[in-house]
Structure 1
């Protein structure tokens, strides 16, 4: 839904990789727009027959990105297209035309660039085609993939291991914070301070049995890897759940001014861990039966009217009501009513 709204407003006649900032962009669209500018640097057009890619404006190529040595004059009103240097409806370059227009070095590059045998251009990821994607997975993610924790905590662990959490020390760089820890008001709130050194956290870690962990690492990545090496897998899973709840507690304290007691937080962490383990064990041991055709939802017939019913009661005066909502087979509301109910 959001993508369709932004598309209609900011790039109705183009694609995601060619948006317009607009005259009065929203804060959200401004952030997305500048992120797209950086994202475009990782992609290029893989040209096809009769290509419509702008030769001197767009990033294009075949299996690798094309990089021309010389610069050439282009028209802002009618850009030079790659297809103008191809033989019509063919996967061959017009060699004579290419040699007359481009330098010797660029001629060799262009003629070596293959084109797809289809009459369309496609966006492809440049890094993958150049084989620059690391063949060795990120060790942080290898660790997180083995943990017995919910997906949201794995994502938190990835952000933690890459120093991507909005701590006060990072917000200072953006001019959004003074940098002091909101809980102890003593020291710059870095990743290490927030989860290891803060006086409001030390007691909680001690209560949970993790105070003996060595925290001499200088980076959040090294600290997380070091903690994994010191703990068994199930203990590290619990440790990451505790770190996630510490972060949640900080946000609660900052936004609501409410501090969760240490014993309550530790109990919540253990309950979350044990509950997730039990759920995983149940899911792996239980096979859900497949639904038959008759059990699945089907769109109502054109003559069908659906009725949804709900009720509510106000504790203050004991007044109860029942609401009814009638809709047609398309889900369009055709009638609604609220009926008071007298409770004896």
Structure 2
């Protein structure tokens, strides 16, 4: 069949299933795994747990592949962490200490639905806060993880 690296191919196929846990939240597959393995969090933040199945271990092993080739697209900004999630073109450069768990939503003025310039300029350097201010805000849908390894921004085994 011409497979060059069966391990990489298998990992890419598993990552395709894991991508469904990130994107297809209305599917039966998602609802079953959500109920069993990550009730209070998302797949990207889920932990191994005690006595996990072989399938769950395998899906979690692909999370690094997904995180390395994807980024967050800001919509309602409720789930994106400022420091630990990739949501900017480059990693944010900080001027001071920013708590690990601060969400992007806290950088937005909720009355005007625009970036709060005071909150954006103080913790970040000039280049980073200019990148943040250049991001348009829609604030109508849930935040979305997009695949940055291809132009259509959707997972493919080939690009993985």
TM-score (norm: length of structure 1) = 0.32
> For the aligned residues, what is the CA RMSD?
3.1
Number of equivalenced pairs: 128
Does 1:125 pair with 2:152?
no
Would the aligned equivalents of 2:82 and 2:104 in 1 still touch at CA under 8 Å?
A: yes
- 1:101 aligned counterpart, secondary structure: coil
Report 1:54-73 matches (<5 A). Answer: 54-61=81-88, 65-70=89-94, 73=97
Would the aligned equivalents of 2:71 and 2:147 in 1 still touch at CA under 8 Å?
A: yes
User: 1:23 aligns to what?
Assistant: 50
Shift of 1:2: 5.5
Unaligned runs of 5+ in 2: 1-27
- 1:45 aligned counterpart, secondary structure: strand
Would the aligned equivalents of 2:97 and 2:123 in 1 still touch at CA under 8 Å?
A: no
Shift of 1:55: 0.7
CA distance in 1, matches of 2:114, 2:30: 38
Unaligned runs of 5+ in 1: 139-344
Shift of 1:20: 1.4
Q: Which has the higher helix share?
A: 1
User: 1:101 aligns to what?
Assistant: 123
User: 1:44 aligns to what?
Assistant: 71
CA distance in 2, matches of 1:86, 1:129: 29
Deviations 1:253-307 (A, max 9, x none): xxxxxxxxxxxxxxxxxxxxxxxxxxxxxxxxxxxxxxxxxxxxxxxxxxxxxxx
Q: Which runs of 4 or more aligned residues in structure 1 lie more than 6 Å from their structure 2 counterparts after TM superposition?
A: none
Change in CA separation of 1:88 and 1:50 when aligned onto 2, cut-off 3 Å? farther
* Higher RCO (CA-CA < 8 Å; seq separation 6+): 2
